[in-house]
Amino acid sequence: MSREGAVSRSVPDFKLRPPAQPPHLLTRPRLLRRLDAATEPVVVVSAPAGAGKTVLLAEWSQGPAARGQCAWLSLDGYDNAPGRLWAGILRALRHVRPRLTVRPGGDEWTLDAWLEEILPGLVAGLGGAGPLTLILDGLESITDPDAVRSLADFLTRLPPGFRAVLSTRHVPGKPVPTLRARGLVAELDQHDLAFTPEEARAVLTALLGSAPAADTSGALYVATEGWAAGLCIMGRALARSPHQTDTERNVAHGRQAVAEYLATEVLFRLTTEQRRFLLRTSVLDELSTGPCQALAGDRAGVLLRELARTVRLLVPVAADPSAYRPHPALAALLSDVLGSEGPDTVPSLHRSAAQWYSRRGETTAAVRHWVLGGDEPSAVSTILGAWEKAISAGGGARVSRWLGLLPRRTVAADARLCVVAAMAALSEGTPETARRWLDVARLRQTGPETVGEGSTVSDAAAVARAVACWLEGEVRTADRLGASAVAGTMPLTSWRALACTARGAAALWASRYQEAEALLGEATRDAHAAGHSLALVRALGLRALCALLAGRHELARTLSDEALEAAAAAGLSVHFVSVSGYLGRAGLLLEEGRTEEAAAALADAEAALAGSPRTAHEPHIRALCHATRARLESARHNADAAREAREAAGRAASGCEPPGALRDLLDRAGEGAAVTPSAPGPQDLSLGERRVLRALCGPLTLREIAAELHVSHNTVKTQVRAIFRKLDAHDRSGAVARARACGVL
CATH code of the region 682-742 = 1.10.10.10
Domain 3-193 of CATH type 3.20.20.70: no
Task: Give average pLDDT by consecutive 10-residue segment, the chain, 745 residues.
Answer: 46 89 83 91 94 93 71 94 90 88 58 80 82 93 92 92 93 88 93 93 88 86 91 86 63 86 92 95 94 94 91 84 90 92 92 96 96 96 94 92 95 93 92 91 75 80 88 80 70 84 87 89 92 93 90 89 94 92 93 91 91 66 89 90 87 65 55 41 65 83 84 82 82 82 70
Provide the residue ranges of all domains of the chain, joining segments of one domain with +.
3-193, 197-265, 266-341, 499-508+525-671, 682-742
Burial class (CB in 10 A: 0-12, 13-18, 19+), 283: buried
Cα separation, 299 vs 260, whole angstroms: 28
Domains 3-193 and 499-508+525-671 equal at CATH topology level: no
CB-based contact 724:738 (threshold 8 Å): no
At 502-528, the pLDDT tens digits run: 889 888 888 888 899 999 999 999 999
Domain 499-508+525-671 of CATH type 1.10.287: no
pTM of the model: 0.75
Q: Which long-range contacts (C-beta less than 8 Å, at least 24 apart) are formed by 58-64?
A: 58/18, 58/19, 58/21, 59/21, 59/25, 59/27, 59/28, 59/32, 60/32, 60/35, 61/18, 61/133, 61/135, 62/18, 63/32
Q: Which pLDDT does position 4 carry in this prediction?
A: 39
Burial class (CB in 10 A: 0-12, 13-18, 19+), 164: buried
Q: Which pLDDT does position 689 carry in this prediction?
A: 80
Does residue 470 come out as left (phi exceeding 0), alpha (psi in the -120 to 50 range) or beta?
alpha
CATH for 266-341, options being 3.40.50.300, 1.10.10.10, 2.40.50.140, 3.40.50.2300: 1.10.10.10
